Structures are given as structure tokens and as C-alpha cells.
Structure 1
Amino acid sequence: MLASLSIRDVVLIERLNLSFGQGLCVLTGETGAGKSILLDALGLALGGRGDSGLVRHGADQATVVAEFDLAARGASGGLDHPALALLREQDLDADTTLVLRRTVTADGRSRAFINDQPVGVALLRRVGETLVEVHGQFDTHGLLNPLTHRDLLDDYAGLAPKRAHLSGLYRAWQAAEAARADADREAARAREEEEYVRHALSELDALDPKDNEEEALAEKRAVMMHREKLVEALTGAAGEISGERGAERAIANALRHLTRVADKAAGQLDPLIAVLDQAAAEIGEAARTLQVMAGDMDHDGASLEKLEERLFALRACARKHGIGVSGLATLRADFARRLSLIEDQGDLLTRLAKDAAEAKQAYATAASSLTEERRRVAGKLDRAVMAELAPLKLEKARFVTAVEPVGEAEWGPGGSDRVAFTVATNPGAPPGPLAKIASGGELARFMLALKVILAQVGTVPTLVFDEVDTGIGGAVANAVGERLARLGAGLQVLVVTHSPQVAARGQQHLNVRKRVAAGKTTTDVVILSPEERREEIARMLSGAEITAAARAAASELMAAG
């Protein structure tokens, strides 16, 4: 609720500090006293339009500070209030006490703060709309905004769980549609490049690249490029081992000499003979290996051309695709996978289209069911509002909650329909939007009737009614006062009124006065005592001269209220 309002240098208000309580607070005063200035100041703190015209003549800037106590209502202690959620979204400090401050300088510059944290005016306005709802002859927000009507009807009917379920179905449908659309785009791209993929894959299949093939080929090529020198060296080495004066013959001669006398050495030559035998075997193996290698290399000369052709083909293919030779095998597998997807995409698209269709049908079925629920509850709401209209001198008016289907392009998480509160003030006339059909005074009373019915489903803790009793009196004014008091039992209600019947029901009474001193006009607001309230209500009953009869009538009204 609005706990306090501090105003400095706004139009005719020089300095003003007000405290507010729960329930119904009435503001009265003679015409021109400045009641509208008070509401303008509050509107400025809530993010309303600010310009230099609001700055008191001679002052540098106007300042308005509005303090709200969100813990004053609600079992959660106010911690779940939408205003706090908005602040948390912006990473701003949020507590159940909110202080909204707005300044406007004489040259029109404006600044906004929430709990002494600088904020944009747009955020201040969004927060303000969750804290105070203003209903008056020129109101264009709150209940007059058709975008709020569907949620209000759902809250009134207790349909929030079904709406949340529908929102989940809508998200699932949209996700399925997005997956299908992505697959369609991927398929289109795949079809465009199918010829290229097939050609590239056939080239890679023909080339048949192997892992680490480039390194092996390069190593072998380096060896083969020095074939002649290597063959010469191998042949020379083989000659040194196996020639007339080679190692094989020398070891064989040595063994022959030793074996002739071995039996005379009492076994002492046996280890030496064994070593020479081993050496002869290894020398023989080395000689055979040299001969084989020399022979192989001598015959590999013709294959160097093929090896180089293979190596250069691999490198050319790698350059063509902008990768290294080592990535060709992986690229081949990727092309094969893409071609498989292209060939299989028909089945995938069919499955995704089926999923999207099923998700859409699930949403449409739930949305249609919710629409029927809304239509059923709309009739109940209409009857409840109509019951409130007759005592408010709107007995000829009709209130109709229109629930109409919308095209698929307008379907959303909230449903496939549009809800609008409409009225017809003359018999036989078709219902139309509240703001266009009702006159200023009628509009405020329509808003009052609606708020009485919807009071328990809103989250805005403070309601302001600006001259809701315009053009009425007697029993109708008394009916207005009775409904405002009913609202005040659960909400904080501020009403600007000229009706003594309304004023008499206030739990707090503020009197707006204009005074002139030293050639300067200022507006003050005074909280009236019970006796002062009686005098003010008597003035409202009788005019400039307050009579004993007026005082007696005021006492009766206060006692009845």
C-alpha cells in the first residue's frame, strides 16, 4: 500500500508530507483547491509524464517521493509482489519497502530513483503500474487496457493452472515447429549441395586415403630418391662380406684352422670356436639381407614414379578441400554421413512434421477447452457486474465480456481467443469498448463495479478513483460510497470526491485547501479530525454557509458509514 507521499515544489504545493493507512481514504476540497495537483504529483512518482510545467514558479526543481509497504497485504509478506520481480530482473535491490522518487527540473529534465537507485522512467512506470491503479474520466490503463482482460477473467475463474498448462503446450508446439523448420532448411541446403557431395565422395572413394599415409609415403619417397647410392653401398657391403677376401671366407678359414687342433687343446678352444660359429651365422645372414635389399632397391626404380603420383594426388585433394592430407579420411566419412542424411531426410522430415502436427493439435484442443471455460465464466462475470450497475444509476447499461476466437497467427501461450470487457449504455445499442462507449462519469462507475467484483484477483494494492461520483447524488452516491468501502475492506482505496455520502464512509479524510499569503498562492492538505470531518461533510451538504441541519445530516451520514 501507499504508506507516505512527500511533495516539494509541485505547481501550488510548496512542501507537503502525508501518511496513509489501509482502507478507504477520501480527498475533498472546494473546486480549484488543487486535488488534481495531488494526483498529478502521485502520478509523477509512478512514472507519469513530467515536464517543467509541474515545477512551482521560482523553484529549481519539483520532487515527489512515494513510499510503499508491500508487506501490508498478503500471506507471503509481499515478497511475491510483481514489483519486486521487475526489480530483480534488472539486478536492483528489492525489499518489501519501496521508495519511488522523481525529480523534474525547471528546464524539463527528469530523473527517477527506486530505493535511491537510479532507474529509467520506463522501469519506474512499469513498477508504478503494479503498485497503484488509477480510475478516472481520462484513464487509459488498468481495466481499460484490453490486453489485461483475458488474464483478469482467468484469475476471476481460477483458470491460472489451465493457462499455465496451455502455455507449456504452446512452447512444445513452437519447439516442434522450429525443429521441423530447421530440418526443412537443412534439407534444402543439402539438396542444393547433393551433386557436390556425391562428386566429392566419389573422388575420395577412388583415392581411398588412409590414416598416416602421407608420412609413410614421404618417408619411402625420400629413401627411393637415393636408391642408386644405397644400392651401391649395399652391394659394396655385400662384396666386403662375401668376396674372395671377405669376412665370410676369413671366418671360415679361421674355424678350419682351429677345428684341426681342437682335440689337442683339452676343450680350451671350444668357446672360441662357438663364438666364431655364431659370427659366421650372423655374417651369413647379413650377407643375404644385403643381397635382398640391394636386389629390391634395384628393382624399385620404376615404382618411384607411382609413389610420387600417389603422394601428389593426396596433397592436391587436400588442398582442394582446404585441409591437411591427414584429414582426408575424416572428410570422406563426413561426406558419406551427409549423403546418408540427404537420402534419409524424407523420413526425418515426415517424422518432424508429424511431431509438429501432434503438438499443434494438443495445443489447439487445450486452447479450445480453455475458450469454452472462459465463455462459461464470462457469463457469470457479466451477471455479477450487472448486479452492481443498477444501484450505480447504470440500470439500462449492459456489460458483456466478449470471448472471440482469433486467427492462428495470433495464437499464443495464453490461448487462441481474445477477451474484451464491453458495454452498451443505451438499450438496443451494440456493446463496444469501455473507453469509447461510456462517458467520463459512467466510465468511473463501470470501473468501480468491475473492481468490486475483481478485487480479490488483482495484485495492485492501491486503487485511486478520481471523481467517481461525478453527476450523481442521493441514493446513487450512497451506493458508490458503499462499494468503495467494500473495496477498502481488502485494499487501500483513495478517492477524490465531491459527494458527502462517499466522504462519510472514509476511514481517513484529507482536505485539500488553497490559501493566499503575502501575495503567494499555495495548496495544503490537512488530515481531518472527526469533528473537522463533520464540518467538511456539512459544507459539502449545504455549501458556503454551514447550518445546524447540515451538521446533523453530516453526523447521520458518518454514523451510517
Structure 2
Amino acid sequence: MLRELHIRDILLIDRLKLDFGPGLNVLTGETGAGKSILLDCLGFVLGWRGRAELVRSGAAQGEVVAVFDLPDGHPAHAILEEAGIEAGAELILRRVNSADGRKSAWINDRRASGEVLRTLSETLVELHGQHDDRGLLNPRGHRQLLDAFAGTDLAPIRNQWRELRAVEAQIAALEASQEAQRKEAEFLSHALEELAQLDPQPGEDATLDTRRRAMQGAERIRDDVARALAALGPGGAEGAMLDATRWLEGAADQAEGRFDAPLEALSRALVELGEAFGGVEAAIEAMDFDPSELERTEERLFGLRALARKHDVQPDDLADLAENLQSRWKEVSGSEELLVELRQRQTQHRANYETLAQAATALRSDAAAQLDTAMAAELAPLKMERAVFETRLEEGESGPEGRDNVFFTVATNPGAPAGALDKIASGGELSRFLLALKVSLARGNDAVTMIFDEIDRGVGGATADAVGRRLARLSESAQVLVVTHSPQVAALGSTHFRVAKDVDDGMTTSRVHALNQDERVDEIARMLSGETITPAARDAARVLIGIS
């Protein structure tokens, strides 16, 4: 609820503070007194686009402050939270316009953009009048209004639409990548086949290289080692030393011990020579290999290294590469199965969506008929009983709220073609249509302040009384502000302001005064009789107000 409006140096207003009440608030005054300026000021602080020049002549800047009561659960809390602005039970909006055109805004003393103000204003205020392009005249909002009237729960269809779109996006991505996946599958299949044939083992490269080097080295030195072994063996040094030993032993008996030491040395030498021969013999046996083994070793070693270069890895990493490629192969080969699964899910989600969309259409069709009936009942007292209001549903593109396009149309006379409200109805008719529509759509929405700008223009008598009573009915569940020239409407207000224009020292200023009961009688009497207020006019005013 709008509780206070403070205005300083805006257009014809120098200083002004208005305290609004719950229920029906009315603003009256002569034409040109400045009633529309108040709406301009409210629109300014709410971030609406309006007049370019607002600062009062001679002032450096103008300022408007609006104070709203913000109960728990009000939709404005979510917007404030998203904007990072703390909010309690009171919301204070302040906006300043400098003489050079610069504008600055604050929400609860936090700087805010005009966009945040406009978003916030949609939860705070509704403006209804002949230029109501933000509300009931906007066809883009008609489906939302009908759903609110019908009490449609859109959460299930929105969730189903979101699921369907998510699955469709996955399918599109998979289908778009199928060619690339096919090529990758061919590469992975070939690479895995090569790796499987070679079957590389961790550490194999080093083992093969060591074995290869050993066989190559043995091949080069084996002949020399064989000759050395022959030189050490019975046909060489060993045989010669045995012959020498045998010859010396035969001569020892006659040598008087002179050969004892040589024979002992030869014995020791033969032992050492035997050890040398055994070592060389063992070495040459170790060097003995099949030449084809070297060929096989080199072939495998070169094969491992060639495959490693092909995949730009180290030979010892080929085993890990095989595991990684196998995982990728499973992913790629599984995409087709995933695509089948996704298409099945798509079919199920689409069927669920169709069911929910058809249910929404049926609910809207029933609600449209109920709304048309309610509108007919509201239009008759407003002297528009010949007008025909119709809520039309047309099939459109599927979306998160179904596939229905909703339009409010009207034919002002029987047999006349129906069309959009703002294209068919005249100014006065349009105001009454909007009021009837708002009354029919009302669902106890006390979160928003409704403003009606001269919605009673062009009507009087019983029709004006019917307008006033419908505004009063709306004000039972929400705060209503109405700018009016109708005494029948003004008489039903719970809070009454009179707007007047003063001229002081050549400076024109608009003043707004909250009226007490006696002042209300005089103001309504003026609206009935003109500048000269007669006793009869006062009596009539008292009757309208309902006081004796």
C-alpha cells in the first residue's frame, strides 16, 4: 500500500506531502489544477518513462519520495533480494531529477537503476486509464490475466516444458556431433586394434633395449672370447702347463729338490687358470643366442617406439593410452544408445506436455466463458448493455504456459465487428470497459495499489454512480487511487484530496489539501453546482456522502 508521497520542486509543486489511506482515495479539483502532475510524480519515482522536463522553474533539482507498506510475502521482496537490497515492512523509494536532466534513484537508501525501479513498480502499482498500455490494454498480458481469473496452476506444465526442452537440446547436440563421433569411433577402433595386437607392457621398452644391446655387444666380441677360451684351454695354456708339470715331475728325483718350488707355483697357476677358463667359458655360453631372437627383439622394440610416436606418448605410456582409448570408445559407442533413450524420453515428455496443454486450454475456455458472463453483468449498469465483450483463445506456438494466445475483444454495438479494446472503444467507453474488466478480474489482490486516471470521464448520473460503486468494491480488497471529476465517485472515497492552483507573486503553484468531512461536503457540492455552492448543492452532497 502507498502510504506517503513527498514531492519537492517538481513542475508546479514546490513542497507537498500526501498521506494516503487504505480503501478508496480520491483526488478532485478543477481542470488544469495539477491532478495529473501527481500521477507524473508517482510515475517518476517508480521509474516510468514520462515527461523529460520535471524540475520546477528556478530550482536546481526536483525530488519525489514514495513510502510503501510492504507486508511479508509481498512479491517486491523477491525483487529486492535479487537486487541485493534489504527490505523490511517499509519500502522507501527516492528519485532526484537535476535541472540538467540527470536522474538518480535510491531504494531504502541504496542506489538503484531505473530498470530496478520499473521492475519493482509492477508489483506495487497498476495504472488504469485511457493510456493503459502497461496493463489491461496490453494483449501480451491477457493470458496471464485469464489464468489468474481461472486460478490456473501453471507449475506442472512449465516443469514439463522445461524437461522437454532440455531433452530436445541434448538430442540436437548429439545429432549435431554424430558425424564427428563417427570419425572418432573409426579412429578409436583402429587405434585399439593396433594396441591390442602389440599388447604393450609397462617397462617393456627398457627391458627390450637392454636385451638388444647385450645381444649386439655379444655378437661383436664372441669370436675374440672364443679364441681366448681356446688359448686358455687344454689346447692352449692349460695343456702347456700340464706338459711342463709332467716334465718337471719326471726330472724332480734327480734335481735334489730344485723343482719343488716351481712345481708348487705351477700347481697354483693351474688352479687360477682353471678359474679363468671357467669364467670365460661361462661368459661365452651367456653370449650364445639365436640370431633370430635379436631380429624379433628389434622388431618389437621398433614397433613399440613407432606406435608411441604416432600417439605422441612415451613407450611406457602405451598401456595407459590403451585404457584411455577404451574409455573413450565406450563413450562414443554409447552415444547411439543414449540417443535412443533420449528420444524415448522426448516422446514421453511431449505426451505429458500435450495432456497438460490440453487441460490448460480447457480450463481457459471455461474461464473465458465465465469472464464474458461476468463482464456482461458489469457492463449493463455502466450503460453499455449493448456492448459485447469476448475473450478469444487462438492456438499459437507451444511454450511453457501452453499454446493458447488470449485476446480481450469488444464490439460496442450488436452486429458491429469485434476488435481490440483500444481500437474499438471511444475514450469514455474504454474507461468503463477497463473498470468492468478490472472488477471482473479482481481476486482480492491487496498487494498492489490501483490507480484510475479519470476513468469516469464522459459519464454521469446513474452511470457515474455505478462507476463509483465498482471502484469502492475494488477498494475493499486493495488500495485504490482515483482522479475524478464525478461527484458520485468522489462521494464514495474514504480519503479525499482536493487539488487547487494558486498564483503568488506571479508564480503558479499546485496545492493539495486533505479534506475533512465539512470540506468534503463543500467540494462535492462545488462539483455538483459549480463555483457558487448553494444550500441545495450541500444537501445533495450530504446525500451522496451518506451523512445527514
Paired residue for 2:509, among 515, 518, 522?
Answer: 522
CA distance in 1, matches of 2:533, 2:229: 142
User: What residue is the counterpart of 1:451 in the other structure?
Assistant: 438
The one-character-per-residue Cα deviations of 1:434-456 (angstroms, maximum 9, x if unpaired) are 23222232222222112212222
> Residues 341, 118 of structure 1: CA spacing in aligned structure 2 closer, same or farther, 3 A cutoff?
closer
The one-character-per-residue Cα deviations of 1:20-57 (angstroms, maximum 9, x if unpaired) are 11000000010000001110000001111256511111
1:513 and 2:500 aligned: yes
Task: State the 1:523 CA deviation.
Answer: 0.7
Paired residue for 1:400, among 390, 399, 411?
Answer: 390
Q: Quick check: 1:187–1:342 contact (8 Å CA) kept in 2?
A: no
3-state DSSP of counterpart to 1:323: coil
| Structure 1 residue runs without a partner (length 5+) | 72-77, 247-282
User: What residue is the counterpart of 1:323 in the other structure?
Assistant: 313
1:150 and 2:137 aligned: no
Paired residue for 2:117, among 112, 124, 136?
Answer: 124
> Residues 299, 101 of structure 1: CA spacing in aligned structure 2 closer, same or farther, 3 A cutoff?
same
User: What residue is the counterpart of 1:30 in the other structure?
Assistant: 30
Task: State the 1:90 CA deviation.
Answer: 2.3
3-state DSSP of counterpart to 1:54: coil
1:372 and 2:368 aligned: no
1:81 and 2:68 aligned: no
Task: State the 1:473 CA deviation.
Answer: 0.2
Q: Quick check: 2:44–2:50 contact (8 Å CA) kept in 1?
A: yes
The one-character-per-residue Cα deviations of 1:317-342 (angstroms, maximum 9, x if unpaired) are 22322333344334334445555666
3-state DSSP of counterpart to 2:85: coil
Paired residue for 1:166, among 152, 157, 163?
Answer: 157
User: What residue is the counterpart of 1:201 in the other structure?
Assistant: 192
1:57 and 2:47 aligned: no
Q: How does 1:273-288 map to 2 (within 5 A)?
A: none
3-state DSSP of counterpart to 2:15: strand
TM-score (structure 1 length as normaliser): 0.83
User: What residue is the counterpart of 2:66 in the other structure?
Assistant: 66
Q: Quick check: 1:379–1:401 contact (8 Å CA) kept in 2?
A: yes
User: What residue is the counterpart of 2:489 in the other structure?
Assistant: 502
CA distance in 2, matches of 1:417, 1:237: 104
Q: Quick check: 2:27–2:35 contact (8 Å CA) kept in 1?
A: yes
Q: How does 1:88-237 map to 2 (within 5 A)?
A: 88-160=81-153, 163-221=154-212, 227=218
Of the structure 1 ranges 469-478 and 86-95, higher mean CA displacement relative to structure 2 is found in 86-95
> Residues 470, 338 of structure 1: CA spacing in aligned structure 2 closer, same or farther, 3 A cutoff?
same
Task: State the 1:114 CA deviation.
Answer: 1.0
- Opposite residue 143 of structure 2, the aligned amino acid is R
Q: Larger C-alpha radius of gyration, 1 or 2? A: 2
Please give the root-mean-square deviation of Cα atoms over the aligned residues, in Å: 3.3
1:15 and 2:51 aligned: no
Q: Quick check: 2:127–2:450 contact (8 Å CA) kept in 1?
A: yes
CA distance in 2, matches of 1:308, 1:524: 106
Task: State the 1:540 CA deviation.
Answer: 0.4
1:482 and 2:463 aligned: no
Task: State the 1:518 CA deviation.
Answer: 1.0
CA distance in 2, matches of 1:203, 1:143: 72
Task: State the 1:82 CA deviation.
Answer: 1.7
1:46 and 2:46 aligned: yes
| Structure 2 residue runs without a partner (length 5+) | 239-273
Q: Quick check: 2:360–2:402 contact (8 Å CA) kept in 1?
A: yes
3-state DSSP of counterpart to 1:129: helix
Task: State the 1:233 CA deviation.
Answer: 13
User: What residue is the counterpart of 2:544 in the other structure?
Assistant: 557
1:441 and 2:428 aligned: yes
3-state DSSP of counterpart to 2:343: helix
Q: Quick check: 2:185–2:332 contact (8 Å CA) kept in 1?
A: yes
Task: State the 1:137 CA deviation.
Answer: 1.1
Task: State the 1:463 CA deviation.
Answer: 0.2
The one-character-per-residue Cα deviations of 1:344-368 (angstroms, maximum 9, x if unpaired) are 6554433322221121111111111
CA distance in 2, matches of 1:127, 1:191: 52
TM-score (structure 2 length as normaliser): 0.85
3-state DSSP of counterpart to 1:3: strand
> Residues 329, 21 of structure 1: CA spacing in aligned structure 2 closer, same or farther, 3 A cutoff?
same
Over the matched positions of the two proteins, sequence identity in percent amounts to: 50
Q: Quick check: 1:51–1:109 contact (8 Å CA) kept in 2?
A: no
